[in-house]
Amino acid sequence: MKELLTRLTAAFGPAGREEEVRSLLKQELTQVGGPDAVVDDLGNLIVTRGKDADQKILVAAHMDQIGFMVTFIEENGFLRITPVGGIQAKSLPGMRLRFGGGTTGVIGQEKLKAQKDLDFSKLYVDMGVNDREEAEKQVQIGDTAVFDAPLVMEGNRYIAGAMDNRAGCTVLLETLRRLPTDLPQSVCFVFTVQEEVGLRGAQAVSYRLNPHFGLAVDVTRTGDTPEPQFKTPLSLGKGPAIKIRDSSVICHPRVTALMRRVADQNSIPHQFEVLEQGGTDAGAIHLSRAGVPTGAVSIPCRYIHTPGEMVDSADLENGVSLLLALLQTEWKW
Ligand code: CO
Ligand code: ZN
């Protein structure tokens, strides 16, 4: 999985510009019978398995990542930016960004009376150019950038920007590779767009597919670092988390019960997630049409929405095992 994760985390894909991630996934899918992949009008990538079954599960992982958009180019060539998704201005000075065209920029900040007043209006991006004319040869208003943070592996851990949610994309793809053709219900794997700006791709694709059940695969925060901001028992390396709730969804109790049972029966290490802040595609899926019982598998991740997003390789493997077991179980109660 390392090779796949390396390529997926290196792909450029801020919300709204998922083309590169999608074409990489499509390329991978050709090896697992991918010609049946469909791309909807918003850019969601849909792959269906077990088409003839009565019931249908939608399994979603978002392709997009957080990023930045150019709002203004100063006379002297410095760029002003706005966040695409949830990013704290405070953590940004000194960071490197990469634009879609390949240009690198460094984030700088203006002088402030108090550092706590730092917000996006006080930040700029330095591309090493001398004036607006030179800058415009590299980027235009509305162009987007992501953290320049390629994958490294240290021990059992992967570190990269975009682990949110290329980790989930990797788990879905790996599951697709290993999934037998004979399934108790059909499964629509969807690689969604624009999760980071409000679960937008998932909202549209859920309407299209009209599933009986939903399942999102994404990353979640851990509490296993010194003095974590939010107290949670989740740790890296202790297995994928079965989501109970976050701020976008209270998972259907029958779905979480089924997930717990399947994990236990297959001796797959797992944890339970109660996330106080943050959401995922499950939030949009469960509110589609007349409502869809939905759950989520979360890959524990430290330093979410920074260039240092860190996951444990065993959690990815166990995430695939859990998903494989869940999709080979008949969903009924
Ligand atoms: Co995110
Ligand atoms: Zn995410």
pLDDT digits (tens, 9 = 90+) for 188-211: 999 999 999 999 999 999 999 999
Catalytic annotation present for 154: no
CA distance 218 to 163: 9
Closest ligand by atom to 305 CA: 1
CA of 128 to the centre of ligand 2 (A): 32
CA of 276 to the centre of ligand 2 (A): 15
CA distance 240 to 228: 19
CA distance 234 to 222: 5
Name residues with Cβ closer than 5 Å to ligand 1, which is an ion.
164
CA of 306 to the centre of ligand 1 (A): 10
* Active-site position among 174, 195, 196, 273: 195
Decide if pLDDT at 34 tops 70: no
Closest ligand by atom to 298 CA: 2
Closest ligand by atom to 61 CA: 2
Closest ligand by atom to 165 CA: 2
CA of 131 to the centre of ligand 2 (A): 36
pLDDT in tens, 213-257: 999 999 999 999 999 999 999 999 999 999 999 999 999 999 999
pLDDT in tens, 114-132: 999 999 999 999 999 999 9
Buried b (16+ CB within 10 A) or exposed e, 161-187: bbbbbbbbbbbbbbbbeebeeebbbbb
pLDDT in tens, 10-25: 999 999 999 999 999 9
For the chain, domains (ranges, CATH) are: 2-65+161-327 (3.40.630.10), 67-147 (2.40.30.40)
pLDDT grade for 53, boundaries at 50, 70 and 90: confident
CA of 131 to the centre of ligand 1 (A): 34
Buried b (16+ CB within 10 A) or exposed e, 8-38: bbbbbbbbbbbeebbebbbebbeeeeeeebe
- Contact at 8 Å (CB) between 232 and 223? yes
| Helix or strand run (H / E) with residue 255 | helix 253-265
CA of 62 to the centre of ligand 2 (A): 7
pLDDT grade for 32, boundaries at 50, 70 and 90: confident
Q: Is the pTM of this model over 0.85?
A: yes
What single-letter DSSP state applies at residue 55?
Answer: -
CA of 308 to the centre of ligand 1 (A): 13
Decide if pLDDT at 316 tops 70: yes
What's the CA dihedral at 265, 319, 252, 275 to 10 degrees? 130
CA of 304 to the centre of ligand 1 (A): 7
State residue 156's pLDDT score. 97
Taking Cα atoms as reference points, which of 285, 84, 311 lies closest to residue 202?
285
User: Which residue type is seen at 257?
Assistant: A
Residue partners of 313: CB distance under 8 A and separation at least 6: 1, 2, 153, 156, 157, 158
